[in-house]
């Protein structure tokens, strides 16, 4: 079984592109807080690379921005390719099938599933991550990619 469930914040805005045949594809990274504190008493985060396609890709690009909280469901995929210098590159990414928008913002909260435009709004009374420590603020220069 290859299934992943993650809750985290967008580390940067969604990068929406189209393939040569016009299929929308979105790449994004979410910061997922670790469940324990480091030696300095702060929570670290893991930065997870994600990719999604078609309607879900368009919806993420339209409704999500850096810092928004989301829950994602998908599966892990390992990819390898040879770069311009002839080096073999390996990367692991999450292929996202379902996203739940968890951020409290001026926009309506929505749940979006693969190949569906929108589903009923998600109702959330409080932020379950309010005690996870300080908000993780990242600049593009902080990211290793």
- 99: CATH: 2.40.50.140
More confident position, 109 or 28:
28
- Report how far residue 98's alpha carbon sits from residue 55's, in angstroms, rounded to the nearest whole number: 11
Mind listing the pLDDT tens digit for each residue in 108-126? Answer: 444 444 444 444 555 555 6
Q: Could you give the number of structural domains in the chain?
A: 1
As a whole number, mean pLDDT of residues 92-104 equals 91
Is the full-model pTM beyond 0.85? no
Residue with tokens 């770069």: 83
- What's the sign of the alpha-carbon dihedral 5, 10, 12, 15? positive
Domain containing 115 equals 4-142
- Report how far residue 76's alpha carbon sits from residue 110's, in angstroms, rounded to the nearest whole number: 24
**Please, are residues 15 and 27 in contact by the beta-carbon 8 Å criterion?**
yes
User: pLDDT tier at 127 (50, 70, 90 boundaries)?
Assistant: low
Residue 48 has pLDDT above 60, yes or no: yes
Q: Give the least confident one: 38-47, 71-80, 128-137.
A: 128-137
């Amino acid at each position: 079984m290859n299934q992943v469930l993650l809750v985290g914040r967008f580390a940067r805005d969604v990068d929406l592109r189209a393939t040569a045949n016009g299929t929308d594809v979105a790449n994004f990274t979410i910061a997922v807080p670790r469940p324990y504190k480091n030696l300095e008493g702060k929570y670290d985060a893991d930065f997870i690379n994600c990719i999604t396609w078609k309607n879900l890709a368009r919806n993420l690009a339209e409704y999500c921005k850096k810092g928004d909280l989301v829950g994602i469901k998908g599966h892990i995929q390992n990819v390898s390719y040879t770069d311009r210098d002839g080096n073999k590159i390996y990367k692991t990414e999450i292929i996202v099938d379902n996203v739940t928008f968890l951020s409290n913002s001026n926009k309506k909260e929505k749940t979006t599933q693969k190949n569906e435009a929108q589903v009923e709004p998600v109702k959330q009374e409080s932020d379950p991550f309010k005690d996870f420590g300080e908000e993780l603020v990242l600049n593009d220069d902080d990211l290793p990619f």
